[in-house]
Chains A and B, each alone.
Chain A
């Protein structure tokens, strides 16, 4: 199972699957204003769904823009990638807790550390 699907399985009880969005890096204006978790997913020949960054925000639209350091890094490196957003329903968990839960799950249980996350 690819990492992105595993993350979705882990956080299923906190998010509304109907509100998950997927936006290309060139369509930032389509990003919703909800709060929650987001992933930067790189598309490459070797791995079409490589999670390279896990982030959280109280407002996706405000947070994810051309000045976001990981977004900028991927653009500077001319990477093809897209953004998946997972809005939290009913504030079942804080955005920061959800982010750290996912990062700990990736590192400690799957032995995977997203390329652009700086710390756990």
Chain B
């Protein structure tokens, strides 16, 4: 399959299932986010579900994120992969924290350090931050990349899923503000 095949997918379900068939992707079924130590120290794309995963019920999909970007400095020809793995994303207080302002909810203790939250960013997304979900109802589904330098990047998968979600549901997942 070429890149355009993914861009042309007719539904979110069709798109994600085509990624799951890709030999460069290893799949991990959704599991409770509180068991975040089950996340491997690899790169890939993750989907955060509230309650149950259902590709036909997208309102329960509240965040799509990725790790493993290919970067290059302007005066340097070498290309490198960013170090942060999926596992380290969940110990460094990254994007999903926006779903987690109230204590005992997704993103707060024991996973994140509240003191590190960017106060200005909080103000920008205050409506989103008002939402919170009980930790035990949050599940994470992961698509690990075996080789990032093959076929397409995690950012491509993330963006195509986000675009397809928006086409089907009319807006982005709650935790993805842009």
Contact = CB atoms under 8 A, between A and B. Distances in A.
Which secondary structure dominates where chain A touches chain B? helix
A116 B77 CA distance: 10
Given A100-B155, A100-B159, A116 B79 contact: no
B121 interface: no
A94 B159 CA distance: 10
B88 interface: no
Contacts of A60: none
B124 interface: no
Given A97-B160, A100-B159, A104-B153, A117 B72 contact: yes
Interface stretch (A17-25, A30-38, A80-88, A105-113): A105-113
A120 B71 CA distance: 7
Contacts of A113: 70, 72, 79
Contacts of B60: none
Given A97-B160, A100-B156, A120-B69, 20 more contacts: A10-B4, A70-B74, A93-B163, A94-B163, A94-B166, A96-B163, A100-B153, A100-B159, A101-B3, A101-B156, A104-B156, A107-B70, A107-B153, A108-B3, A108-B151, A108-B153, A113-B72, A118-B71, A118-B72, A120-B70
A73 B7 contact: no
Interface string B62-96: 00000001111110000100100000000000000
29 contacts: A70-B74, A73-B74, A93-B163, A94-B166, A97-B163, A100-B155, A100-B156, A100-B159, A101-B3, A101-B4, A101-B7, A104-B152, A107-B70, A107-B153, A108-B3, A108-B151, A108-B153, A113-B70, A113-B79, A115-B74, A118-B71, A118-B72, A118-B73, A118-B74, A119-B69, A119-B71, A119-B82, A120-B70, A120-B156
Contacts, number: 56
Interface in B8-32: none
Nearest to A102: B3
Interface of B: 2-4, 7, 69-74, 79, 82, 150-153, 155-156, 159-160, 163, 166
